[in-house]
Structure 1
Amino acid sequence: MTAFFKKGVIPLIILALGVAGAGWLNASRATPPKGKPHERVANVRVMALQAGSYPVVIDATGVVEAARTAVIAPELAGVISQLSDQLRPGGLIKRGELLLALDAAEQRITLQQKLAALQEAEYNLAIEAGKQERAERDWNLVKSRKADKKAAELARRVPNLGIAKQQVKSAQAAVDLARLNLKRMRLTAPFDALVLESDVALGQRLGAGSQAAKLMQANQVRVRIAAPLTQLRWLQIPPPDADSPHGSAVTVTVGDIQAEGWLEGIDGALNAASQQAELLAIIPQSETPRRLPLGAVVSVRLHGLTQNGVIAIPRAALHEGNRVWLVDADNKLDYRDVTPLWGDAKTLYVREGLASGAQVVVSPLAAPLRGVKARVQGDEAAPSAPEQQRHKRAGDAA
């Protein structure tokens, strides 16, 4: 009997007591006050948009190249007798300054010979002119109406005078050529130049047409700029036949060197690698304290035409690509997908999709949803119903 009581009755008593205790605890639990569900609120910072007039600014990259180059080579062979100290890589030479001179002794002798031949031809012309004058008088005395024109010209020595005149012209041409050859023995700079290449020395013999130096224009360089085709409409690009090819202003920067210039045109072919247009800009070097090195990759800022009715949006306002979140008149989140006209590192510019005065969100948003209530930072909102009840219970307990 005792064993049966321990194995059968006692467990039932314990189970009954447990059920009764659980029921008592459940009945004695305080029922929480019922209230409205917690409303989601997004804390945001906003900026009021304003339409205005903005000059287009396009950032790009470019490569510095020579605006103009020239290969210096003698037209005649000769030995170098004079050489400029600046005829070396990096040397600066003004337009018209002597680069080098070849020994011109032979050319001077030839010129003297041609001058003597010219003097002789002029003397012969004077003699023949006198003979022709006498022949003309004699012909007037004995001329016959039956004589043909050719016979008359021979009698009057007209052909002889013509030959003498042609001999003078030929001798004069020989003198001009001798003077030209003498001048060709001196090579001068065709423009203000920076020497790119030169490896010649005094006493060195140069053949006709052999390169003595390579020069580039010193007072300006060209920058070849890769720009998207869609951005060209904002720029002033001079046509190829423009009298003064000065287009949109250009600012180039490399390291701590900055220089200003202008667009001079556009290359006729697209860049094969990037499929972008290649703009050509001229950068005067006389306006910079230091020169832009050839081949340098430079940052370029193109200053385009001013556009009216444009809204500037900070890039911090962009979410999910080109989506902009706004706070509407009901203080709720809404969004617009915009298409920028152009932009820079900090700002995008749009003309459609946004209105002046719109409140654009410029603070980060975590999983934003359209229609969620927005609380603009700085505005204080009244506590919600659950918050009021918690504050009341805390006061009663105190």
Structure 2
Amino acid sequence: MKWVLNLGLSLVLLGGAAFLAVWLIRTRPKPGHSVQPETAVLVRTMRARKGREVITVRGMGTVIPARKVVLQPEVGGRVVEQAQELVPGGRLAAGETVLRIDPRDYRLALAQKQAQLEKARLDLAVEEGRRRVALKEWESLKKGMKGASPDKALVLREPYIKNARAALDAASSGVEKARLDLERTNVKAPFNSLVLSENTEVGQVVTPQTQLAVLAGTDTFWVQTVLPVESLRWIEFPPSGKDTGPSAKVIQLLGEGKRILREGKVLRLLGDLEAQGRMARVLVAVEDPLLLHGSGEGESLPLLLGSYVRVEIRGKEVDGVFALPRTALHDGDKVWVMGEDDRLEIRPVSVLFRERKRVLIDGGLGEGERIVVSPIPIPAPGLKLKTQVEPTPALPPGGEGK
């Protein structure tokens, strides 16, 4: 009977514990529903301001000579003298003697032609004397002559006179030709030039077909610039034959933040596309590229032929556009706007022109709207935003800001 009593006591204890557990669960206090406050994302903004902007058209180009010539002699002979600057990289002034061809044969030829000219003058003088004698005889014979008279022109030796005058003209032309040939033994530079290559030495026999040197003009270089075809509408090309094209900056990067900067002018649009990328080609002229007459901005280094440079052309002015940083544009045509309720709006806009660091917007924005210019990790329409309040900078003496 004792084990029955123990079993009953155990069942009573288990039942009491179960009842107590159920009661505690049912009578526990219910947790309250707490509302988490909405966190605003800190951003930087700028005001959209409509204004007048100048479009800058950018491209890349190669420096080429504006004037280039293969120098050849006009007469043949042995080279007896050569300019010291007639070496690759040498500089020649316009009219400077590049080399001299042995002039002795040409001096002799000139003397012969001058002697022939003197003989022609004497022959003409003799014929004119004979004509005067014939004229007197004609007048004497004419008085007693009956019937048909002989041809007066023949009697007065007019054909002989014409022949002598023609011989005189030919001799005079021969002298001029011999004098020109003698002058041409001094081969001169046609313009201020840089020697790109030379193919002659003292003692060499040259002919008019010999290529003495290749020269490039140093007063002006051209930059053959390649641009997207669609950007041409923003450039005002000068009329044909004029040099009043828009200004351009030619920049050669040297590394470590250094560069060569030259000012240029747009000359003309070439009539064909660049073969590789099918880009438009524009010529930009740069005066004094080698700094022979002054100094340029930057490292004061010459702009060398063959250099690959960046070109920035001043384009047309456009009115009524918003200029924004390039980083303010997202997905190609969208801008983040901080609305009046400080919430994010993802606004599609009309992009008029894209530059390397900015874009010009001509539709989709209002004057004075706040444009978000800082990154947002997860941008979503309606996202709560806030801007950082920046302290007002202290004014310098005089009350004017810097």
1:276-287 matched pairs, under 5 angstroms: 276-284=279-287, 285=289, 286=291, 287=294
Q: Is the 8 A contact 1:64 1:298 kept in 2?
A: yes
- The answer to whether the aligner puts 1:275 opposite 2:274 as a matched pair is no
Q: Is the 8 A contact 1:58 1:343 kept in 2?
A: no
Q: 1:146 to 1:358 in 2, by over 3 A?
A: farther
Q: Is the 8 A contact 2:66 2:217 kept in 1?
A: yes
Partner of 2:84: 85
Q: 1:317 to 1:122 in 2, by over 3 A?
A: same
Cα drift, residue 170 of structure 1:
0.7
- The answer to whether the aligner puts 1:361 opposite 2:359 as a matched pair is no
1:223-234 matched pairs, under 5 angstroms: 223-234=223-234
Q: 1:290 to 1:376 in 2, by over 3 A?
A: closer
One-letter code of the match for 2:21?
A: G
| Superposed CA RMSD | 3.0
Mark the runs of 5 or more structure 2 residues left unpaired by the alignment.
391-402
- The answer to whether the aligner puts 1:319 opposite 2:322 as a matched pair is no
Cα drift, residue 298 of structure 1:
0.9
Provide the secondary structure at the position in 2 that maps to 1:341. strand
Provide the secondary structure at the position in 2 that maps to 1:122. helix
- The answer to whether the aligner puts 1:303 opposite 2:314 as a matched pair is yes
Q: 1:4 to 1:82 in 2, by over 3 A?
A: farther
Partner of 1:106: 105
Cα drift, residue 7 of structure 1:
11
Higher mean C-alpha displacement, 48-57 vs 133-142 = 133-142
CA–CA distance in structure 1, aligned partners of residues 31 and 208 of structure 2: 111
Cα drift, residue 138 of structure 1:
4.2
Partner of 1:249: 247
Structure 1 vs Structure 2: percent identity of aligned residues?
A: 30
Mark the runs of 5 or more structure 1 residues left unpaired by the alignment.
380-398
Provide the secondary structure at the position in 1 that maps to 2:153. helix
Report the number of matched residues.
375
User: TM-score, with normalisation over the residues of structure 1?
Assistant: 0.84
Cα drift, residue 319 of structure 1:
1.9
Cα drift, residue 278 of structure 1:
0.6
1:117-266 matched pairs, under 5 angstroms: 117-140=116-139, 142=142, 151-239=151-239, 241-242=240-241, 244-254=242-252, 255=254, 256-266=259-269
Provide the secondary structure at the position in 2 that maps to 1:57. strand
Q: Is the 8 A contact 1:234 1:304 kept in 2?
A: yes
Q: 1:8 to 1:248 in 2, by over 3 A?
A: farther
- The answer to whether the aligner puts 1:335 opposite 2:346 as a matched pair is yes
- The answer to whether the aligner puts 1:294 opposite 2:305 as a matched pair is yes
Cα drift, residue 270 of structure 1:
0.7
Q: 1:236 to 1:140 in 2, by over 3 A?
A: farther
CA–CA distance in structure 1, aligned partners of residues 207 and 122 of structure 2: 39
Q: Is the 8 A contact 2:134 2:155 kept in 1?
A: yes
- The answer to whether the aligner puts 1:72 opposite 2:71 as a matched pair is yes
CA–CA distance in structure 1, aligned partners of residues 147 and 68 of structure 2: 70
- The answer to whether the aligner puts 1:377 opposite 2:388 as a matched pair is yes
One-letter code of the match for 2:245?
A: G
One-letter code of the match for 1:167?
A: A
Q: 1:18 to 1:193 in 2, by over 3 A?
A: farther
User: TM-score, with normalisation over the residues of structure 2?
Assistant: 0.84
Cα drift, residue 224 of structure 1:
0.8
Q: 1:14 to 1:188 in 2, by over 3 A?
A: farther
Runs (4+) off by over 6 Å? 1-13, 143-146
